[in-house]
Chains A and B, each alone.
Chain A
Amino acid sequence: MLTVENLFVNYGMIKALQGISLVVKEKEIVALIGNNGAGKTTTLKTISGLIKPTSGRIYFQNIDLIKLNPYQITKLGIIHIPEGRKPFANLTVYENLRLGAYFVNKKREIEERLSFVFQIFPRLKERLKQPAGTLSGGELQMLAIGRGLMAKPKLLLLDEPSMGLSPILVEEIFSVIKNINKEGTAILLIEQNAAKALSIAHRAYVLETGKIMLEGKAEELINNESVKKIYLGVG
């Protein structure tokens, strides 16, 4: 479904990605784990078109993404839920959700998607008229995911959804991610919380300073000695 080949990205002199290749297949959850500054966010931003690579190729369902603008990539069904949730704090919860389905015009379709999002996050329904800037951290993450779901994604790019959440909320968010995937959406998941990510992923890549160091089935990586040591904090 998504194929990334030999991706190089620089920020000026800084070499953030140095030849990344990865694949996400239909209906898969793929985890991308790695330390701070490894290049995880950069990888997602390059897939969604916010950053243009110096070289490399990205294909989504055989469409070449390199030449497309971010808003065109979004329309293909690749939805990037950014690190730090990035709510439009000046807008209401409803307006944020509406923007998630920006390119949808039919009222009925928007209503349907809204009620789908409310099923998952009933809390958002109670907050509809509230400015997003007044939500709690957990509610903001619900809004970020809900806003992404409004677009009916085919592939969801999730950047650290569990960051800064209480353990109970982390559980809830991860079970939501699992359910979204069960309904057929492929997911590329970035996480600091490697143990959690590996527990729901089918496959995973380990990123270290701009390069893929390891890849494989999630259950194999959980038992890999170096992964255990560095990312899972055991052994």
Chain B
Amino acid sequence: MNYFFQQLLNGFQLGSVYALISLGYTMIYGIIRLINFAHGDIFMLGAYFGFYAITRFKFNFFIAILFSMVLCMIINVLIEKIAYAPLRKKNVPRINLLITAIGVSFFLENFASLKIIFGPDYLPYPRPFKIITFDFLGLTLSSIQIIVFFITLVLLLILDYLIKRTKIGLAMRAVSYDKETALLMGINVDNIISLTFALGAALAGAGGVLYGICYPQIHPFMGIMPGLKAFVAAVLGGIGVISGAVLGSYIIGMIEVFTAAFISSTFRDAIAFAILIIVLLTRPQGLFGKEEGIKL
């Protein structure tokens, strides 16, 4: 029984990281109907930025997260402006954007692998604070888990406030519904799209650093698997639905951890994709989606 609850905690930890990635998928899909397959690589960059902030610049852990978030924001906005915006303005078919995103993904992975950038090797992630374990209702809870839960919660609350309670959030919701009419309201739609890429990247960047301290090894291709699973989580929750992405992430995180713990760890990756196939076959709009579901 205790083992079960212990796994629940682990699932919650993994789900938190997925949630931070998944939100970017769902927000960017919501605003320009693009499945941004380069999003997992932003998460990878975030992990590296955190790595250098802690090891090279000796930043405090929380500052390192902020540093990573800001750099990821800048990079994702640049990517949007350079790679996607020119295509959007030509009104190309959506599949062209998707292929471009895959290209950006390969570029980031291989660029990061260059010796003069991050290099191709696995790097051990620093432990920026003492790992203390607490007994909590008979369970062992580590300081890492507490920090992951806490930071995820704070970021989710900030995002929720931003989207539901601010004028910018209102503009984001308007733009995702109808760009042309949003322009007629006086909304600078290009800026709102950039902002959405920035927000998604900030969360993914934070997710990268948290992933680094939880599963302490990073490399240039580390974004692929978590990125794909976060994508599955977004589809499961109903792509474009923010709360759906969070819930989907925790579900995927739990299922993955439980599969590894109670069935076999060889299935842990396969299970997420089995879920993707089942969702697409039976309920393509996901658990909370109202629309017709995901379209490539």
Q: B-contacting residues of A (Cβ < 8 Å)? A: 48-50, 69-71, 74-75, 79-80, 82, 86, 88-91, 95, 98-100, 102-103, 105, 147, 151
Closest Cβ–Cβ distance, residue A126 to chain B (whole Å): 22
Q: Are A103 and B174 in contact (CB under 8 A)?
A: no
Q: Are A70 and B177 in contact (CB under 8 A)?
A: no
Q: Does residue B115 face the partner (Cβ distance < 8 Å to A)?
A: no
Closest Cβ–Cβ distance, residue A105 to chain B (whole Å): 8
Q: Does residue B178 face the partner (Cβ distance < 8 Å to A)?
A: yes
Q: Does residue B173 face the partner (Cβ distance < 8 Å to A)?
A: yes
Report Cα–Cα, A214/B253, bound state, in Å.
68
Contacts of A95 in B (CB 8 A): 170, 173
Q: Does residue B185 face the partner (Cβ distance < 8 Å to A)?
A: yes
Q: Mind listing 5 A-B residue pairs with CB under 8 Å? A: A86-B181, A90-B173, A91-B173, A95-B170, A99-B171
Instruction: Identify which of B171, B177, B188 contacts A89 (C-beta below 8 A).
Output: B177
Closest Cβ–Cβ distance, residue B165 to chain A (whole Å): 11
Q: Does residue B184 face the partner (Cβ distance < 8 Å to A)?
A: yes
Q: Does residue B56 face the partner (Cβ distance < 8 Å to A)?
A: no
The listed residue with most B CB atoms (<10 A of its CB), out of A70, A79, A80, A147, is: A70
Q: Are A88 and B177 in contact (CB under 8 A)?
A: yes
Closest Cβ–Cβ distance, residue A114 to chain B (whole Å): 15
Closest Cβ–Cβ distance, residue A134 to chain B (whole Å): 14
Q: Are B181 and A75 in contact (CB under 8 A)?
A: no
Q: Are B178 and A99 in contact (CB under 8 A)?
A: no
Report Cα–Cα, A201/B166, bound state, in Å.
40
Q: A-contacting residues of B (Cβ < 8 Å)? A: 167, 170-171, 173-174, 177-178, 180-189
Q: Are A91 and B177 in contact (CB under 8 A)?
A: yes
Q: Are A82 and B174 in contact (CB under 8 A)?
A: no
Sorted from nearest, which 9 A-B pairs have the closest CB atoms? A74-B186, A70-B183, A86-B181, A99-B185, A102-B186, A102-B185, A103-B186, A71-B186, A71-B188
Instruction: Identify which of B170, B171, B174, B184 contacts A70 (C-beta below 8 A).
Output: B184
Given contacts A50-B183, A70-B183, contact A99 B188 (CB under 8 A): no
Report Cα–Cα, A88/B182, bound state, in Å.
9
Q: Is the interface of A mostly helix, strand, loop or mixed?
A: loop
Report Cα–Cα, A80/B186, bound state, in Å.
10
Q: Are A69 and B177 in contact (CB under 8 A)?
A: no
Q: Are B181 and A88 in contact (CB under 8 A)?
A: yes
Contacts of A70 in B (CB 8 A): 183-184
Contacts of B186 in A (CB 8 A): 71, 74-75, 102-103, 151
Q: Are A100 and B185 in contact (CB under 8 A)?
A: yes
Output the nearest chain B residue to A98 by Cβ-Cβ distance. Answer: B170
Q: Are B170 and A50 in contact (CB under 8 A)?
A: no
Closest Cβ–Cβ distance, residue B20 to chain A (whole Å): 25
Q: Are A88 and B183 in contact (CB under 8 A)?
A: no
Report Cα–Cα, A103/B191, bound state, in Å.
14
Instruction: Identify which of A90, A147, A151 contacts B177 (C-beta below 8 A).
Output: A90
Closest Cβ–Cβ distance, residue B132 to chain A (whole Å): 45
Instruction: Identify which of A74, A91, A98 contacts B184 (C-beta below 8 A).
Output: A74
Q: Are A102 and B189 in contact (CB under 8 A)?
A: no
Given contacts A80-B184, A95-B170, contact A71 B189 (CB under 8 A): yes
Closest Cβ–Cβ distance, residue A95 to chain B (whole Å): 6
Q: Are B188 and A88 in contact (CB under 8 A)?
A: no
Report Cα–Cα, A70/B173, bound state, in Å.
18
Contacts of A48 in B (CB 8 A): 184
Report Cα–Cα, A169/B194, bound state, in Å.
41
Q: Are B184 and A88 in contact (CB under 8 A)?
A: no
Given contacts A70-B183, A71-B187, A71-B189, contact A86 B178 (CB under 8 A): yes
Contacts of A100 in B (CB 8 A): 185
Closest Cβ–Cβ distance, residue A142 to chain B (whole Å): 16
Contacts of B182 in A (CB 8 A): 99
Q: Are B184 and A50 in contact (CB under 8 A)?
A: yes
Closest Cβ–Cβ distance, residue B203 to chain A (whole Å): 22
Report Cα–Cα, A103/B183, bound state, in Å.
12
Report Cα–Cα, A89/B182, bound state, in Å.
12
Instruction: Identify which of B167, B171, B173, B184 contacts A82 (C-beta below 8 A).
Output: B184
